[in-house]
A and B are shown apart, each in its own frame.
Chain A
């Protein structure tokens, strides 16, 4: 049962000099209740822009968002209702809480914004319930604290509690653990996973870490320079990456199983490949055609034109000429 359906999302930013920058181009996906969709990409790929666009904090140039089949409202009361149902968690636990206010304030405000929520002791009770649901105890003590009195992991838990306060159906998590200490990350991700299952939330997990994307989600979308270049089941995308960019990402991650010798060999191979392309080429801007072609080891002449969204396996799609039967036949 789909909760949030996105079709053809495009976000543009005006730049000095007139040319518009397409931060997100033609993105389509579906978030389902009780499931996590991971959006993987590096900084500058546009993934944070996607989150903001879905939360309606960023205007979109094109595309449609359907919440439970209804188009997402753009203004007024309907927009507020949308906001209550689609919540987000930011990357930086230090910036996402107002240093001037207590934890209680941060949680009470969204609770009060739900129409008809009572004030007084019932409000305090609700705040404490939220804190308990994210394992911040004793709730009375934590509620009285200011953000600077909490550790990074604790602040992120408060941010999660705040997101849950309006009773959402969709949770957009924008790199929720990348700024936390390593040993705390899995705790927080496990917490999000449990909350998602308990409350049957539809979750979008944005990250640059392939490992956690694989372990915590059912589906993965890979983003490169504003476009979704691969989309499929988590195991498929990680273990049998179709798009050359995904292959580069997967091979760049440390592999504890490789021996020293194998590591050294792999390194020499990469260096030889890189020496074959000049540094200039890697940084240049592109016009039409596949945005990855300057870094792609499989680039073909046809890559000068925009690649199609081609099937690469069951439920698995890649934006690449390699999977277009006609192009492969032509190149063969």
Chain B
């Protein structure tokens, strides 16, 4: 993973038009470095999927990009202003440079045409120079690359299992050897064993072909394993951006902490488990203060009135990797880290010391013991 950026999206805002427009993405800035896996975590309604579609320029009405810029830096080429692309330029950009793997393969694969036909369609649209024989060969190679028997090139989507269909989606995304692949919940609908296989496959392909990945999911525990860096989204904004290895133990934002707590560790001792009370906010409203404030256990006086901006986390006792030129590596949008509002630093759990209930402990809280009555 280099410091060199392959995709930069700045101040992206997306709205869904309607009587009361829904602002699904609000002033989001993300940078993807060449060869890295950037995870985007968040729950339903946080805007992460909308962001993905915006980056790939696949937004459809009633969704509209209402602000921001997206710049793509191809290897050995001049930077491309993605939003300025049109017609032929856009066609050459889509799928060639940035491809996407969608959440539900059955929604993205055509149920009435065979796999061979669907691959042929991709090549016909983007590589008209290839002849039929070459297209067939490439298609079989792609299937083999993702671990499917190439003889199944003639199958229809419904004849394949869920895991195989998702592999086909990945193969189709790789067909034109893009530099960036955006994956929107690619394994959510799959069993944990198949999910593990698919993730291993993605990792192997990444090592072999060198593309960068934006991986979007609600499964934060998964992202901690596979991402290099991750961004947590809440209410259409990025509220924390951090190195994946560190944020799992020492999150800076209360929402990230709550989200981490929502994934109990199977192997740890029994403890009291809690999620986050309340519901995500309505994205048709504006938030003068912090959007997470109603559900936050650490909220204080300034939170409902001032909207927090991204800034460096305070009180880190764990060493943060040195910031690359052009931007800090760890940012959090929370007043608890603002020395102006909290000169003493954030409370325990967010101050860089691992929280008690995110790490293994020996405490048992009223849990059932194996084999006996309560």
| A interface residues, Cβ below 8 angstroms from B | 32, 34-36, 42-43, 151-154, 181-187, 189-190, 197, 208, 210-212, 214-215, 217-219, 233-236, 238-239, 248-258, 260, 263, 267, 270-271, 274, 278-280, 283, 315
Contacts of A212 in B (CB 8 A): 264
**Is B266's CB under 8 angstroms from A271's CB?**
no
Is B158 close to A, CB under 8 A?
no
Are A189 and B273 CB-contacts (below 8 A) given A42-B191, A218-B372? yes
Contact B43 A182, beta carbon cutoff 8 Å: yes
Chain B residue nearest to A189 in the complex (CB): B273
A271 in contact with B204 (CB, 8 Å): yes
Chain A residue at minimum C-beta to C-beta distance from B197: A274
| Those 6 A-B pairs whose CB atoms lie nearest each other, nearest first | A233-B370, A186-B275, A42-B191, A183-B276, A211-B266, A252-B196
Interface size class of B (residues with CB under 8 A): 35 or more
When A36-B368, A187-B277, A253-B266 are in contact, do A278 and B149 touch as well, CB less than 8 Å?
yes
B218 at the A interface (CB under 8 A): yes
Give chain B interface residues in 240-292, CB to chain A under 8 Å.
245, 248, 258-259, 261-267, 270, 273-277, 279-280
Stretch at the interface among B26-34, B170-178, B219-227, B329-337: B219-227
> Is B88 among interface residues, defined by CB-CB distance under 8 A?
no
Q: Residue on A with the closest CB to B280?
A: A181
CA distance A270 to B193 in the complex (A): 11
Interface of A is mostly: helix
Asked whether, in the complex, the Cβ of A183 is within 8 Å of the Cβ of B258, the reply is: yes
B371 interface hit (Cβ, 8 Å): yes
Contacts of B81 in A (CB 8 A): none
Q: Which one of B248, B368, B373 has the highest number of Cβ atoms from chain A below 10 Å of its Cβ?
A: B368
Nearest-neighbor residue (CB-CB) of A177 within chain B: B275
With contacts A42-B192, A212-B264, A271-B204 taken as known, whether A190 is within 8 angstroms of B148 at the C-beta atoms is no
Contacts of A234 in B (CB 8 A): 368, 370
- 8 Å CB contact of A187 from B195, B275, B370, B373: B275
Contacting residue for B43 out of A34, A35, A181, A208, CB 8 A: A181
Name 23 interchain pairs, CB-CB below 8 A, sorted by A: A152-B44, A182-B43, A182-B219, A182-B263, A184-B275, A184-B276, A184-B279, A186-B264, A208-B191, A215-B367, A218-B369, A233-B371, A234-B368, A235-B370, A239-B267, A252-B192, A255-B225, A255-B265, A256-B265, A270-B200, A274-B200, A280-B149, A315-B371
Contact in complex: A252, B266 (CB < 8 Å)? no
Residues of B contacting A271 in the complex (Cβ-Cβ under 8 angstroms): 200, 204
Once the chains bind, are B193 and A35 in contact (CB under 8 Å)?
A: no
Q: How far is the CB of A110 from chain B (nearest CB, A)?
A: 26
Instruction: Specify the chain A residue showing the minimal Cβ separation from B203.
Output: A267
Question: Is B147's beta carbon under 8 Å from chain A?
Answer: yes
CB distance from A220 to the nearest CB of B (A): 10
Measured between C-beta atoms, what is the minimum distance from A137 to chain B in Å?
A: 13
Bound CA–CA A145/B281 (angstroms): 19
Residues of chain B lying within 8 A (CB to CB) of residue A248: 193
Q: How far is the CA of A282 from the CA of B164 in the complex (A)?
A: 11
CA distance A190 to B374 in the complex (A): 15
List of B residues within 8 angstroms of A32 by Cβ: 373
- Say which residue of B148, B273, B279 sits within 8 Å of A151 (CB atoms): B279
Contact call B218/A215, Cβ cutoff below 8 A: no
Asked if residues B374 and A186 are in contact (CB atoms below 8 Å), the reply is no
Contact call B193/A249, Cβ cutoff below 8 A: yes
In addition to A215-B367, A218-B370, 13 A-B residue pairs with Cβ atoms within 8 Å of each other are A42-B193, A186-B262, A211-B263, A212-B264, A214-B266, A219-B370, A219-B371, A233-B370, A233-B371, A248-B193, A254-B224, A267-B200, A270-B196
